[in-house]
Amino acid sequence: MASGKVLYPLYQLGNPQLRIFRPNFFMTLVRPGVPQPEDTVQFRISMQMTRVDVKNYLEKIYNVPVSVVRTRIQYGANNKRNHKNQRVKKPDYKVAYVQLGQGQTFQFPNLFPEKEETPEPGSIEDIQKQFMEKERQRQTADPRRGGVTDWFGL
């Protein structure tokens, strides 16, 4: 199968099942905007895919047990305007809500955890960090003044 304009052979009752090698369909797993039940996974799929296609795709390629798939089409807004005052359309896309079978659950992970970077001694980042720390120490006021600024007094 292929997303986009592709001519499929004509189907009439009794014809053999259409076989396609190298399907051109891609599925994007997205974090749900609205909290979903634990067994539901949200995908953005091509407009040409059906829920049967999604089920077969996941079962055959990813070996994921699927019980039910529901789909909807999200309309992309046409309100924004460019510098020529022409309307710019955001593309439409299809969303699939897949409920996993065999009692499996799925939670969208955090793909951008904050990592503590320890810079190598001698590298530019290390020198920069040390310099900034020295500057900060220099600019702190005398603790004996108790928080009073140095505009006052002698």
Give the residues lining the site for other proteins (CB under 8 A): 1, 7, 9-10, 12, 17-23, 26-31, 41, 44, 52-53, 55-57, 59-64, 104, 106, 109-115
DSSP calls for 1-41: --SSS-PPPP--TTPPPP--SS-----EEE--SS---TTEE
Shortest Cβ 39–other proteins spacing (Å): 11
Q: Six-digit token pair at 141? A: 């006021």
Query: In the complex with other proteins, which residue's Cβ is closer, 31 or 134?
Result: 31
Query: In the complex with other proteins, which residue's Cβ is closer, 88 or 148?
Result: 88
Query: In the complex with other proteins, which residue's Cβ is closer, 119 or 145?
Result: 119
Give SS3 for 133.
helix
CB of 20 closer than 8 Å to CB of 31: no
Query: In the complex with other proteins, which residue's Cβ is closer, 110 or 140?
Result: 110
DSSP state of 142: P
Shortest Cβ 9–other proteins spacing (Å): 6
Shortest Cβ 140–other proteins spacing (Å): 32
Shortest Cβ 95–other proteins spacing (Å): 12
Residues 6+ apart with CB under 8 A from 99: 37, 39, 40, 41, 66, 67, 68, 69
